[in-house]
Amino acid sequence: DAGITQSPRHKVTETGTPVTLRCHQTENHRYMYWYRQDPGHGLRLIHYSYGVKDTDKGEVSDGYSVSRSKTEDFLLTLESATSSQTSVYFCAISADARGPYNEQFFGPGTRLTVL
């Protein structure tokens, strides 16, 4: 299994509070991704990183920010959580952007509930 951990694994928070999710990898992969998974929508890309301090938006980036100060860590922040951000969040990593090393490997997920 790829060395990817996510913390926390579960979190319950209140509307309007800031929340930070952490993804940590031990594979030294260049690319890291944050997805959310919701019933009926499948996996949707929030933000991704193509190197330290290099990030870009995905298809559902509104309300989220990210930071990557080290190769191994990719943080996802909800500045002011809303109920619509209740979801399961997955981090993924890949060694490269083009085949054959572009396979993405996923972490175990963080279940976030915003009340």
The least CB distance from residue 48 to other proteins, in Å, is 7
Tokens encoding 25: 């990898």
- From 19, 34, 90, 114, residue interacting with other proteins (rule: CB under 8 A): 90
**Strand (E) or helix (H) holding 16:** none
Task: Find how far residue 75's CA is from the centre of its chain.
Answer: 7
Nearest residue to 44 (alpha-carbon basis) of 84, 73, 4: 84
The least CB distance from residue 40 to other proteins, in Å, is 7
Asked if 99 touches other proteins (CB under 8 A), the answer is yes
DSSP-derived secondary structure letter, 110: E
Residues 27-86 that bind other proteins (CB under 8 A): 31, 40-45, 48, 50-51, 54, 56, 58-59
The one-letter amino acid code at 26 reads T
Per the CB < 8 A criterion, the answer to whether 105 and 5 are in contact is: no
The least CB distance from residue 34 to other proteins, in Å, is 12
User: Which parts of this chain interact with other proteins (CB under 8 A)?
Assistant: 4, 31, 40-45, 48, 50-51, 54, 56, 58-59, 90, 94, 96-100, 102-109
